[in-house]
């Protein structure tokens, strides 16, 4: 079993780190809010470190699942950052959804120190993390990926290397682009059913068995119909991710008209006070317009 560090114990990182400890690995955790780390150790065992550097000392692999580009830089770099505590040959695995630019920066910074770096963003939401059913899309050197994959498999339903460094983050962008359009379409369908006086549950029971079926439909239609959004992936985080998608699209010359439109719809949801609502809250915007 491996000596590991896990940095960031949010709704995703907390159960992911727990799966690693349960699998027999020796896990040291770091979280910006120490109370969360204390709760994790009380539940799972393992150890707490006061800084990312301290957590990473002696670890063969360090995982991070934090908020954004700046959060990732803060746990990697500087005197108290993970890179400063990692021994040559150790591997850093980033599960955060961040820009391709910061991934390139940190990949090179790790390489300069003799460290491996794999960008490995995740999809599957809180339920996927809790049930060890995440989809993990990876970019980086093949040797680094081959080392990371057996450990990532502890909480993954599928883990795949897509290409060189940055390919994982760009694949996650594809994931978010696809989700945005699907959630908007589902919101419009359910809103139409409501306005037309149809039984939304009966409608979904039928159409979900045909070409309209999707993960979003199967897992979100009931909460959408019940006007319940206090769960899942927050609108604020989705807007962060879509901003990364749109910026990268400009760089690579891709056209994302639907993504840009749905991003503005999410901005409207934020104005309704729904920044922490689940992404399926797009239907709230349609109801507010009726």
- Tens digit of pLDDT for each residue in 172-196? 999 999 999 999 999 999 999 999 9
Question: Which of the residues are catalytic?
Answer: 172
R_g of the chain computed on alpha carbons: 20
Cα–Cα distance for residue pair 173/259, rounded to 1 Å:
11
- What residue ranges do the domains of the chain occupy? 3-164, 170-289
The CA-to-CA distance between both ends of the chain, in Å, stands at 57
Cα–Cα distance for residue pair 88/55, rounded to 1 Å:
16
Secondary structure (3-state) at 119 = strand
For 3-32, what is the mean pLDDT?
A: 98
pLDDT, tens only, 117-158? 999 999 998 999 999 999 999 999 999 999 999 999 999 999
Secondary structure (3-state) at 3 = strand
| pLDDT of the residue at 256 | 98
- Does position 89 have pLDDT exceeding 90, yes or no? yes
Q: Of 118, 52, 61, 129, which is closest to residue 85 (Cα–Cα)?
A: 52
- Tell me the pLDDT of the chain averaged across its residues: 97
Cα–Cα distance for residue pair 23/269, rounded to 1 Å:
40
Q: Of 219, 226, 132, 128, which is closest to residue 182 (Cα–Cα)?
A: 219
For 17-34, what is the mean pLDDT?
A: 98
Architecture of the 170-289 domain: Orthogonal Bundle (1.10)
Q: Could you tell me if residue 8 is left (phi over 0), alpha (psi between -120 and 50 degrees) or otherwise beta?
A: left
What are the beta bridge partners of residue 209? none
Cα–Cα distance for residue pair 285/265, rounded to 1 Å:
7
Residue at token pair 């908007």: 184
Query: Is there a common fold for 3-164 and 170-289?
Result: no
Cα–Cα distance for residue pair 269/92, rounded to 1 Å:
36
Share of the chain above pLDDT 70, in %: 100
| pLDDT of the residue at 232 | 85
Here the tokens at position 280 are 């399926």
Q: What's the topology of domain 3-164? A: Rossmann fold (3.40.50)
- Sorting pLDDT into bands at 50, 70 and 90, what band is 1? confident
246 Cβ contact partners less than 8 Å away, ≥ 6 residues apart: 256, 259, 260, 263
pLDDT, tens only, 231-253? 889 999 999 999 999 999 999 99
| pLDDT of the residue at 5 | 98
Here the tokens at position 76 are 């990697």
DSSP secondary structure code for residue 63 in this structure: E
- Does position 286 have pLDDT exceeding 90, yes or no? yes
For 43-70, what is the mean pLDDT?
A: 98
């Amino acid at each position: 079993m491996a000596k590991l560090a896990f940095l960031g114990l949010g709704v995703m990182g907390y159960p992911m780190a727990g799966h690693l400890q349960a699998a027999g690995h020796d896990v040291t955790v770091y979280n910006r809010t120490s109370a969360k780390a204390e709760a994790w150790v009380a539940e799972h065992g393992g150890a707490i470190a006061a800084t990312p550097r301290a957590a990473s000392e002696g670890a063969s692999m360090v995982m991070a699942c934090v908020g954004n580009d700046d959060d990732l830089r803060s746990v990697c770099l500087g005197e108290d950052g993970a890179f400063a505590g990692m021994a040559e040959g150790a591997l850093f695995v980033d599960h955060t959804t961040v820009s391709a630019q910061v991934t390139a920066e940190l990949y090179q910074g790790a390489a300069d120190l003799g460290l491996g770096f794999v960008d490995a963003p995740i999809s599957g939401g809180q339920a996927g993390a809790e049930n060890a059913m995440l989809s993990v899309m990876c970019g980086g050197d093949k040797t680094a990926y081959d080392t990371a994959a057996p450990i990532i498999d502890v909480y993954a339903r599928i883990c795949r290397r897509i290409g060189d460094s940055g390919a994982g983050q760009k694949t996650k962008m594809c994931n978010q682009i696809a989700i945005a359009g699907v959630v908007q379409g589902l919101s419009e369908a359910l809103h139409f059913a409501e306005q037309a006086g149809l039984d939304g549950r009966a409608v979904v029971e039928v159409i979900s068995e045909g070409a309209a079926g999707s993960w979003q439909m199967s897992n979100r239609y009931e909460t959408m119909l019940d006007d319940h959004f206090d769960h899942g992936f927050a609108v604020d985080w989705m807007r962060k991710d879509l901003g990364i998608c749109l910026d990268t699209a400009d760089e690579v010359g891709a056209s994302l008209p639907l993504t840009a439109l749905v991003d503005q719809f999410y901005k409207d949801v934020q104005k309704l006070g729904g920044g922490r609502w689940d992404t399926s809250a797009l239907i709230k915007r349609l109801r507010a317009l009726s």
